[in-house]
Structure 1
Amino acid sequence: MSSPTSRVLALLELLQADAGAQGLGGAELARRLEVDRRTVRRYVNHLLALGVPVEARRGRDGGYVLRPGYRLPPMMFSDDEALALGVGLHVAGALGLGGITPAIASTQAKLARVLPAPLRQRLADIDATVALDLARPYAHGAPATLRALSAAARARQRVQLSYRAVPATPDSPSDTERAVDVYGLAWRGGAWYAVGHCHLRGALRCFRLDRVQHVQALPASFGRPEGFDVLAHLRHAIATLPRAHTVRVLLHCDPATARRAVFAELGTLTPHGRGVQLDTQADNLDWVARELARLPFAFSVQRPVALRRAIAALAARLLARA
């Protein structure tokens, strides 16, 4: 730390991070700040002059401590932390939460007002030059819904959802009321989802957040299945939605290679003998053919036969263009 000001702020950060009832001793603070104990006392006086309530606890194990309940996070960020902030704000803006854009802009403005000039410039560089290849949102969830359901999932509290589903038939109702145990939330393929046990259907279900009309906490708790993988279940549920074609392909590679190469939206991967089995549902076999054609390893189409014809037609078109 190159200046007394940065060391005073570092002292504040150390006191905030300390959870001990007796606080941090002067000798320990001097060692961490690389100064003598007299200088530590001077830094404490600086904080007191700024209105920061630092208390000195007496006794053999005594030390300096912040008054309970006081928090003032100083805006001190390393280069890596500044990078995390910049990229994090970029990601937040791309994740389809309607109405959150003003909050992102105000956060950026607050950071610009308090950060030192070099870090402020680094954030501006990221904002101007970094592009993220995220799936473009096709469904915008409400931030309030995300907050309510994530809080319910953490607290293991059952909720009542007013949910607008896609009707199974033209005459079936689309708006339903259902009690749900939310195990977690995930972003996939351009939309936010909540995954959990639906008491109306008596089974696991995935709910798109943009279709949730209202959330109400219920006076009931639940147990989350041990080791439940929210994203894995969501992938499987999306891949196995009923569509025009059921596709099964054997990939001639190991599971790690398959996970790196296969587009996540394509389907589910299961180790099978010396290869990996890809299962999915598709309405457009030409799209599946294009995705398979870009794989860097061999594969065998097990079903449907129409997919083999689609791959052959794609190959013919490419040869004609070449």
Structure 2
Amino acid sequence: MSRTKGYSTVERLFYILQHLTNHEYATASELADYCKTSTRTIYRDMAKLEELGVSWHREGRFGYKLLSKPIQQNGRLTKEEWMALTLYPMLSEGITSGEHPFHLSYRSGLEKVMTYVQKGESDGALGERIRLHARPKDPAQINVMPAIIPAISENRTIKVSYYSIHRDQRTERKMDPYYLVPREGHLYVIAYCHLRELPRVFRLSRFEKVEATKKTFTIPKSFNIDEYLSQRWSIISDDTNTTFKVKFDKVASRYVLEEDFHVDTEREPQTDGSLILRTTVKSKEEFLRWIRSYGIRAEVLEPESVREELAAECEKMWKVYSEKKQEA
């Protein structure tokens, strides 16, 4: 399992323990390769583990062997700690602040994890029943995440290989990662792109390689993440405001009424059960993709130019499907 450079001492200790638990022996050279560091650093890390009460011994050419595992009787994660580490960060911001109501559970849970909680010691049953991820984890995302999170935390510039699906090309570039933002089941990095010399939005799953540099950055005081993302229907901006007026029939209206949006909307229920929605967005294409998902249950009333655009699109679709029917 290859790993990127730049791990902290705590992270290396965790990975060393993980590796030694899953293997009977491991040499200093193997551990150095696993953690992407030097054998000299591994020697220091092993001495640190011994100071922390981890028992191990070295058997000649076979290397290190773990004799005891650093699991204390109170090493088990409580339900509150598990929730603070997994669920609450997704539902509320500021859990790392001492003012957050679940901060103490977050801290105690994090300390247990970082002293290596044995697999199965946490409340696995609860974790299995609360399925926070609707899709399998993307291996590429798992590989780049350990490099991006410390870079965001330490304000470090990163070198990346990024695939642009719009241009269908890969580029090597440097960027300053400002924020990690979830949208519609995906994670996006808001970063200053040195290539474009502008803050840009990058989808995390399209990062193919990430390497932290020694260069640090400071987020400009003039940059406000809320202002930057304002009026985006989801995450992408086309830099042009478009005001929409859309009518949803009585079936679709129930679903539209219960949704939470990233932009301000006016929703007016009608006497016949339908719904009129008004909003102004900088993401025309994203908004129209959402409208199309409702099919004939949604009708764009304004602007007229978009009505004409959708009408022409429907005519093309009619020709495609009618021609297929004639061929059959």
The two structures have a TM-score, normalised by structure 2, of 0.44
Over alpha carbons, which structure has the higher Rg?
1
The two structures have a TM-score, normalised by structure 1, of 0.44
